[in-house]
Amino acid sequence: MKKQAPNSAVRTSTTLNDVRYEIRGQLAHRAEEMEKRGYEILSLNIGNPGLFGFRTPETMRLAMIENLGAAEPYSHQKGIFPAREAVVMQQQDRGIMNTTAEDVFIGNGVSELIDLALRALLDSGDEVLVPSPDYPLWSAAVALNGGTVRHYDCPPDREFAPDIGHIESLIGPRTRAIVIINPNNPSGAVYDLRTLEQIVALAEKNHLVVLSDEIYDQMVYDDAEFIPLGTLVTNTLCLTFSGLSKVYRACGYRVGWCAFSGDLDIADNYRNGMELLASLRLCSNVPGQWAVQTALGGFQSIKDLVKPGGRLYQSRQAVIDAVDNSPYLSMSRPMGAMYAFIRLNAASAAVMDDQAFALELLETRHVLVAPGSSFNTEYTDHFRITTLPDPDVLQDVFGRINSLLEQHA
């Protein structure tokens, strides 16, 4: 009797070839395996406030509960009106006056809206300028929607500020858009007015859509100033992305928004395309949408957390002090967001790259960090941690990091 050939493995789409998301990749899977075996892992790879004791403001929870009855049907594909109108009011408070509720989309987190915005914009081979280092979802979403990523440098020796000359050199006939992440993940950089004005001037000159990721907009420290990009863009289209996940510590609610501003006269076809895609997924999570109006209109508790004495400020300071006191580490001081992008000294980096360092740190010291190269950098001597843990936990983390590096010194 003829033996039947075994089935071939199911082939995955080739569109995944250029998709990377190591923040939840192999190292995270290894950490899960170790936890199942009984090890206690300090996971600093993801900025997830709820895991570190940060609570969503109670008023937001109450707003959801009180409107559960109204949350059972589908909502409008763009989102419920009170949520969209609250985003409009925030835009107006910031000096962006031409946005209406029709220009706002509510999504299942900013992640979904990034995908919709790029899918509605790109044809195969169109190019998008994305910072390096970046939040890798941006690069992945460009690739998944048929686009080509062109990374512009935000080098460590410039404290991760964008290299304007490099941006200009990358612009070609297929360039459709530029992504700005400010405050920046992973570096914690907050861009000054001149830098943003130069980026906007290039975008307007070359008719690029500006995609501004501002999810950490109110999470800034010391004298850093967050400048909404929509206040600077007038002669091209600007899409501002933000949501409840970080500033309002509500990651699990999965509520984000995208607001159109700038030259809205050129936006009709694009906005209609996004609405078509939003209609295909019916609507985003409705209960969470009822928290938006309360979040944006109420007391902004994030301000107490990021000022001196606030928990986010003190944890960030603990990281700064630990790096300053380590003979093996250095970094540009993070001025925003909830991360530190830390550099191994030359001697340590010569012994092991960021991937090897992160793996050995996990296996031997039970600390999970994200290798810097997973944020689409060409250099391999950085790693990212979240600054969300309490200062005493961070002190323990850096004790483990230093012991590993001392072993290899």
State yes or no: pLDDT of 19 exceeds 80: no
Q: Give the domain CATH number at 143.
A: 3.40.640.10
Same domain assignment for residues 167 and 314 = no
**Closest among 71, 88, 43, 16 to 367, alpha carbons compared:** 43
Show the DSSP H helices in 40-163 as ranges. Answer: 58-66, 81-93, 109-121, 136-144
Q: Is residue 282 part of a domain?
A: yes
Burial class (CB in 10 A: 0-12, 13-18, 19+), 146: middle
Per residue in 34-62, pLDDT (tens digit) is: 999 999 999 999 999 999 999 999 999 99
Confidence of residue 9 (pLDDT cuts 50, 70, 90): confident
Same domain assignment for residues 264 and 279 = yes
Same domain assignment for residues 189 and 278 = yes
**Neighbouring C-beta atoms of residue 63, cutoff 10 Å:** 21
Q: Is residue 97 part of a domain?
A: yes
Q: Is residue 4 part of a domain?
A: no
Q: Give the domain CATH number at 21.
A: 3.90.1150.10
Q: Residue 355 corresponds to which amino acid?
A: Q
Confidence of residue 13 (pLDDT cuts 50, 70, 90): confident
* Residue 36, H or E segment: helix 26-36
Same domain assignment for residues 144 and 42 = no
Confidence of residue 12 (pLDDT cuts 50, 70, 90): confident
Q: What confidence score (pLDDT) does residue 3 get?
A: 63
Chain centroid offset of residue 302 CA: 18
Residue 393 CB contacts under 8 Å (≥ 6 apart), including other chains: 42
Q: What is the rounded distance in angstroms from the CA atom of residue 30 to the CA atom of residue 85?
A: 44
Per residue in 26-39, pLDDT (tens digit) is: 899 999 999 999 99
Structural domain that includes position 209: 69-297
Q: Is residue 1 part of a domain?
A: no
Per residue in 330-353, pLDDT (tens digit) is: 999 999 999 999 999 999 999 999
Domains in the chain: how many in total? 2
Same domain assignment for residues 222 and 168 = yes
Q: Is residue 7 part of a domain?
A: no
The pTM of this model reads 0.94
Same domain assignment for residues 44 and 129 = no
Confidence of residue 104 (pLDDT cuts 50, 70, 90): very high
State yes or no: pLDDT of 2 exceeds 70: no
Burial class (CB in 10 A: 0-12, 13-18, 19+), 390: middle
Same domain assignment for residues 36 and 164 = no
State yes or no: pLDDT of 22 exceeds 90: no
State yes or no: pLDDT of 287 exceeds 70: yes
Same domain assignment for residues 138 and 254 = yes
Same domain assignment for residues 47 and 75 = no
Same domain assignment for residues 354 and 328 = yes
Structural domain ending residue among the three candidates 251, 271, 297: 297
Same domain assignment for residues 138 and 215 = yes
Q: What confidence score (pLDDT) does residue 5 get?
A: 63
Q: What confidence score (pLDDT) does residue 212 get?
A: 98
* Pairing, β 256-262 against β 104-107: antiparallel
Q: What is the rounded distance in angstroms from the CA atom of residue 273 to the CA atom of residue 292?
A: 24
Q: What confidence score (pLDDT) does residue 8 get?
A: 80
Q: Is residue 35 part of a domain?
A: yes
Same domain assignment for residues 44 and 162 = no
Contact 387, 315 (CB under 8 A): yes
Residue by residue, what is the 3-state secondary structure of 285-313? CHHHHCCHHHHHHCCCCHHHHHCCCCHHH
Structural domain ending residue among the three candidates 297, 332, 357: 297
Q: Which of 45-49, 178-182, 209-213, 397-401 has the lowest mean pLDDT?
A: 45-49
